[in-house]
Amino acid sequence: MKHQLLIIFIIFILGGCATHPTVSTTPMAQGEKRYGWSWSAENVFPYLWYRYGLSDKDDIGIRVGPAIYGTGFDYSRILYTKDNKWDVMNLAWSLNPNYNTDFTYYKFKQRVNKDDTPGAISWWGLRMMYIAKGITGGSSSRIGFLLGGQPNDRWGYEIGYNHDFSSMPITNIFDFKWNDTVKNDVNLKRRYGDKPHTDPASGLPTEYSRLTGISFRVYVNLEMTPPTAAD
């Protein structure tokens, strides 16, 4: 059992071949620039990100990773603000073995410290992810939930999961012998047998894999540059 857990952990670390953006966790001003780096379980290697404020409600982001892992772009818009809470819509496209398109709705909240200064930020969100053509040539539609936090201005984290209901029942996501389960159950084989979770050629998680739905990211803010008069 210990060896199985170790293998699962290693696979998790090696990533699920899907990518998600590092969004701005506080509203940006027009002309404001931010950049940093992120490491995520989906990408294996760290990637660089850059964000630019188009207005006090809109910003765009670009990500660049080694080879194709982590590379992509996205757009965010603030839809609602009240006191220390705000809602953000994000649209993202990512380049990776299972290149995906995301729509995410975030709900942010910033704590106020005892001295009335801004404190830590937390958020949760709902994400819809679509893979038009994955490693095996199939498509995948997923929906999921995420949670995140930023203890201070320098770093933060986010974790989530997006499930493809056409690839396996959600009640089986902890079935670590899923391949055997499908083979031995006639009904499951008829419904899910044509959706392999591992690519036979490369050994990577396919567009149908549970690992493709896992999202875990740690990011670091390297610089936040306020807008200049020219902007």
64-111 pLDDT tens trace: 987 667 789 999 999 999 999 999 999 999 887 778 899 999 999 999
- From CA 159, how far away is CA 156, in angstroms rounded? 11
Candidate ranges 13-22, 209-218, 219-228; pick with highest mean pLDDT: 209-218
- From CA 76, how far away is CA 59, in angstroms rounded? 5
pLDDT for position 135: 86
Comparison of pLDDT for 19 and 12, the residue scoring more: 19
What distances in angstroms separate CA 180 from CA 136, 184, 189, 225, one per listed residue? 20, 6, 10, 53
Contact 23, 90 (CB under 8 A): yes
Comparison of pLDDT for 10 and 192, the residue scoring more: 192
- From CA 164, how far away is CA 170, in angstroms rounded? 8
pLDDT for position 19: 80
Candidate ranges 29-33, 63-67, 136-140, 201-205; pick with highest mean pLDDT: 29-33
Six-digit token string for 142: 């997923």
**pTM for the model:** 0.86
pLDDT for position 97: 73
pLDDT for position 229: 54
Contact 93, 101 (CB under 8 A): yes
Six-digit token string for 62: 């670009």
- From CA 101, how far away is CA 219, in angstroms rounded? 21
Contact 91, 100 (CB under 8 A): no
Q: 13 falls in which pLDDT band (50, 70, 90)?
A: very low
Q: What is the pLDDT of residues 115-152, one digit of tens each?
A: 888 899 999 999 999 998 888 889 999 999 999 999 99
